[in-house]
Every structure is written in structure tokens, then in C-alpha cells.
Amino acid sequence: MRVKVLGAGIIGLSVADELLRRGHRVTVVDPAPGAGASYAAAGMLSPSAELWHHEEALLGLGRRSLALWGSYADRLGVPVRTDGTLLVGYDAGDRQQVARQVALVEKHGGRVERCADGSAVLPDEASTDPRAVVTALLGRVPVVPVDSAGDHDATVLATGATLPSPYASLVRGVRGEILRLRSDDPPARTLRGWVHGDAVYVVPRHRGEVVVGATSEEHDAPPVVTAGGVRRLLTAARALWPALDRAELVEATARDRPCTPDNLPLVGPAVEAADGVVLAAGHYRHGVLLAPLTAYLVADHLETGVVDPVLDPRRFTGGDR
């Protein structure tokens, strides 16, 4: 098939890479490859720590995609850290939040190692560096800045929080602010914590980089870094990991997460399978985790017509199912 992919974030590039691997002809279009939400993302591969009530479908998808990440990362030549996630609470109320998360994860069969101080390790979780992933993908997948006319059999829309008309209303931006620091004393694994009720995560990377995130705000305005957002993140992160006080603050970034009405991605035909317009969008907080699974699902759909009903965009567009 000849497939056009609009959007060179981690989703569009992963889809394009999978299609190329399967022998299809692919054109990826993006004037600023890798500059959207993928640029901000912390890269946590953590379906259980991100689990929330009534989001069991997302947990299942996350687990399926996490299982793909090892071979996916090997193929791209990027490292994945597999040291798990430490859930930690600062005050008594925050520790109750940890206990609630642990109970939820265990209810859904996730492995948890409880610690004496009320914290808990999710040993099966991992993390990666999304910028390294995007760089590796850009080395494999050519991207052009402008959409030129040309014959194609299908178009995959993977433009994150700004889908083109007439699909724009299917996603809305949820602003996330995120920090990058450099520390000589980083945590040994990802911390997911609550500090006086504020949720925060601290993700260590190689060479002392530490990512601290993230705010979450419904907003119509373009995403910008705010003084209040940076203050909240730093206050919460250093309460959990005091050594961050000495860390160099390297970068503060804001991007919109692409959120759908039910928090589940849109993967499949936009309206009618025969139209050849396929969505790979709306991954909200889970784009990095779900990238390899989304790539398989889109490629499988284009080759066989199969669609996962949970992700089918026609649940919102009213198209033929």
C-alpha cells in the first residue's frame, strides 16, 4: 500500500516504521518532527502507576504494549530502564493515596512489593527516553515538511492534540508542564508520589538527567510554562527527593496532551473504512507506552480491516462499524 502519515511524533513515526517494515510505501509529513507532546514526555512505561478507576481497558492496552517495548527498543537501539516504579506518599493522606493505588493495581493482578514505610514498588514497570526514541525513528523514517499531492491508498492522522478538520473536536489539549534537571544524586528508579495531595513523578535517566512532571490543566490557550507550575513541580519533587535542591534546572517545557472524551485513544477508521482515513491519535497520557501497540494495530487494520472496538474512532464519529 501507499500510505501517507500526517504527524511525526512518536505515534506517527512508530506507525510509519512498522508499515515500512511490512513492505509498504510510506510518506510522513510534519513541518516540525518530534516537536510536539513526544518532546515533553517523560517516557514512563507504567500502565499500573497510571491506572485509575474505570480505566481497566487502558490498563490492558498498556500491558500489551509494555510487553512489546523490549523488542521495539532493541530494534531502535534505545535503552529501556527496567527498575520499576516506587509509589511514595509524603504525608498521612498521601500514604493513603499510595495504599489506594496499591489496592487498585493488585485488584487487577499487578505485582506489587510493599515496603515497611508504606511505599510500594511496581517491579514490572520501566521507562525510556522519548527523545532518543524519536531520534532513532527519524533515522529510519524519512519525513517531509509539506504535504504534496500524490496518490496514496490511505492517510493516517497522527497529529496529536491538533487533529485536522473535520476531526478536530475529537481531541482536546490538556496542558502538561515538565522539567528536566541534572543531578549528581538521582533516584535509582522512577518515583510516583503524592505530596500534600499533589501528584508528581521523578524519572531518572542516564548521565544524571532527572525528569519531573507534570502539571495537568484543561486550557484553550497555547501551552506555556508557568511560574506556578514550575513551583508546584519543584516543591513536590524535592519533598520526595531532597537531593534535587542541588540539581541544575536545565529545561522547562509545556505541551498539550491529546485527550479524548473517554481517555482512550482513537485507532482505526475515522468514519468509513472505505474512506482510507485512519486515526492514530488521542493517546492522552500514554503515547510513549502505547506507541508500539498502536503501530501494530494501525498496520493490521490497513492490511486486514480489523479494528479494536475499544479504540474504534467511530464510537464518536458515528461512522459505520
Tell me if 229 contacts ligand GLY by CB under 6 A. Answer: no
Among 10, 16, 19, 42, binds ligand GLY (CB under 6 A): 42
Chain length of the chain? 321
Instruction: Report residue 314 CA to chain centroid gap.
Output: 22
How far apart, in whole angstroms, are the C-alpha atoms of residue 258 and residue 162? 8
Tell me if 176 contacts ligand GLY by CB under 6 A. Answer: yes
CA distances from 47 to 114, 183, 282, 310 (A): 18, 26, 16, 17
Among 189, 255, 257, 283, binds ligand GLY (CB under 6 A): 257
Tell me which stretch binds ligand GLY (CB under 6 A): 42-50, 115-123, 140-148, 157-165. 42-50
How far apart, in whole angstroms, are the C-alpha atoms of residue 38 and residue 35? 7
Alpha helices, H only, 5-82: 10-21, 37-40, 56-76
Residue type, 72: Y
Within residues 182-201, the interface with ligand GLY by CB under 6 A covers none
Tell me if 213 contacts ligand GLY by CB under 6 A. Answer: yes
- Residue closer to ligand GLY, measured from CB, 176 or 193: 176
Tell me if 4 contacts ligand GLY by CB under 6 A. Answer: no
The least CB distance from residue 285 to ligand GLY, in Å, is: 3
The least CB distance from residue 267 to ligand GLY, in Å, is: 18
Among 175, 238, 283, 285, binds ligand GLY (CB under 6 A): 285
DSSP state of 206: G
Check if the beta carbon of residue 197 is closer than 8 Å to that of residue 92: no
How far apart, in whole angstroms, are the C-alpha atoms of residue 159 and residue 164? 8
How far apart, in whole angstroms, are the C-alpha atoms of residue 281 and residue 39? 16
Provide the mask over 291-320, with x wherever binding to ligand GLY is found by CB under 6 A and - wherever it is not: ------------------------------
Among 214, 236, 298, 307, binds ligand GLY (CB under 6 A): 214
- Residue closer to ligand GLY, measured from CB, 3 or 11: 11
How far apart, in whole angstroms, are the C-alpha atoms of residue 194 and residue 230? 16
List interacting residues with ligand GLY (CB under 6 A).
Answer: 42, 44, 50, 176, 213-214, 257, 285
